[in-house]
Amino acid sequence: MTLDITVVGGGIAGLTVAAALDRAGMRCTVFEQVERPRAVGAGLQISPNAARLLHRLGLEQYLRATAVRPEAIELRRWDDGRVLGRTALGDACEKLYGAPYYTMHRVDLYEGLLQLAAPYVRFGCRIDSVTQREVGDGIVVGADGVHSVVRATLTSDRPRFSGQTVYRALVPSAAAPWLRREPKVAIWPGPGRHCVCYPVSGGSSFNIVATAPAETAHAEWWTTPATREELMAAYSGWDEDLTRILDASMQVTRWSLHDRDTMTRWGSGRLTLAGDAAHPMLPFLGQGANMAIEDACALAACLRRDGPGESTEAGVTEALRRYESRRQIRTERVHQASRENARTLHLYDGDGQRKRDAAVDEAHNLRNRSWLFGHDAEEP
């Protein structure tokens, strides 16, 4: 029988699901509530575990033309910029893991995926609820983010406020010539907050992600405006190289950071989840989009192995449960590592901070990232 697959949500997760299903010989319909194609946000880090999957979907040439392949990730001392540790990327990363590490603008990734998935997307279609009865003989994939209405079919949990707000901004590349000469991901961990800076848009600008503690949550929209003055005040007294970059910020936005506890089950019957709908996580490991891409390709692989043209009802359900069980193990580890980074990146100066800094070289050795970068979500 032919599978009738509905995907709720047309963001990074939903578009990748559609592209992966298409590659596997299956069609779907993606329902997206916005009226027209629109990507918001700023930068993304695409590590080899997701880059290899995007290459297989047909985006290798596109990514090499639009993204940046940084040479390293560097951790820097918050007050004087001293390099604490370095993870080699560039050729070394691509040789070791068979795929590059990219930094790019979210809009660029969205547009690349939309080129692959456009025939399947229906814009201006809002889904307010889903019931098991409505799923019927089809498959429903909830890819509708942290506030997922599909997830609400399975659990009554709510997003958890992390106690952190995050500022995002783009900065002209001229503001950081030392980052332009050798493209890299620079991270300043410090007391109660941290800042990340990396090149996007082919290197023409840098993306800023700067966290700060907050007692209460505020609006969660990507486009909630903030000011450069707010951002500068949050990092007063920090490394001069960093504050010069922040002072060049354009169109600063801010929103509260939320995640949810992990779920014991992602699906029921012919309903399942992908991306932030399944495992919304804090951005402190840079893996949110990467996990969504992994989910999408793993889901398509599980359904493909079941034989979509001759699937039985039991076989399809088993394929969905197989997908979920595999992905739960993987995303649980990444979810917890992201929460742990929320602690270790924000240590105040003292014994804990010194212990962290002494272990940086081992923790950030490229080979020690194999559990993350070397994973292939399409393998059985």
Which tens digits make up the pLDDT trace of 47-77? Answer: 999 999 999 999 999 999 999 999 999 999 9
Residue 223 CA: distances (Å) to CA of 106, 159, 161:
14, 19, 18
| Amino acid type, 258 | H
Q: How far apart are the first and last CA of the chain?
A: 23
Alpha helix (H) residue ranges in 136-211? 177-181
Per annotation, catalytic residue among 62, 198, 235, 323: 198
Yes or no: say if 177 and 158 are a contact pair by the CB < 8 Å rule.
Answer: no
CA dist 193 and 347 (Å) reads: 8
- Please check the confidence at residue 169 and state whether its pLDDT lies above 90: yes
CA dist 47 and 286 (Å) reads: 9
Helix axes 288-305, 12-23, angle to 10 degrees: 30
Taking residues 16-38, report their average pLDDT: 92
- Please check the confidence at residue 166 and state whether its pLDDT lies above 90: yes
Q: Which residue has the higher pLDDT, 344 or 135?
A: 344
Yes or no: say if 69 and 198 are a contact pair by the CB < 8 Å rule.
Answer: no
DSSP-derived secondary structure for 254-273: EEEEEE-PPPS-S-BTTEEE
Instruction: Count the neighbouring beta carbons within 10 Å of the beta carbon of residue 378.
Output: 16
Q: Which two tokens stand for residue 352?
A: 């804990």
pLDDT of residue 122: 95
- Identify the CA nearest to 57 among candidates 293, 364, 224, 326: 293
Strands 83-88 and 72-76: antiparallel
Q: What pLDDT, in 10s, does the model give residues 76-113?
A: 999 999 999 999 999 999 999 999 999 999 999 999 99
Q: Which two tokens stand for residue 214?
A: 């907050």
Which percentage of the chain shows pLDDT scores above 70? Answer: 94
Q: Which two tokens stand for residue 182?
A: 């050798």
Tell the residue number behind the tokens 């299903």, with chain if given.
Answer: 21
CA 134 vs. chain centroid, Å, equals 30
User: What band does 136 get if pLDDT is binned at 50, 70 and 90?
Assistant: low
CA 15 vs. chain centroid, Å, equals 14
Q: Which two tokens stand for residue 286?
A: 């840079």
348 is catalytic: no
Q: What pLDDT, in 10s, does the model give residues 276-296?
A: 999 999 999 999 999 999 999
Q: What pLDDT, in 10s, does the model give residues 177-202?
A: 888 889 999 999 999 999 999 999 99
CA 247 vs. chain centroid, Å, equals 26
Q: Is 30 helix (H, G, I), strand (E, B) or coil?
A: strand
Q: What pLDDT, in 10s, does the model give residues 316-341?
A: 999 999 999 999 999 999 999 999 99
pLDDT of residue 135: 66
Yes or no: say if 24 and 58 are a contact pair by the CB < 8 Å rule.
Answer: no
pLDDT of residue 309: 45
Instruction: Count the neighbouring beta carbons within 10 Å of the beta carbon of residue 58.
Output: 14
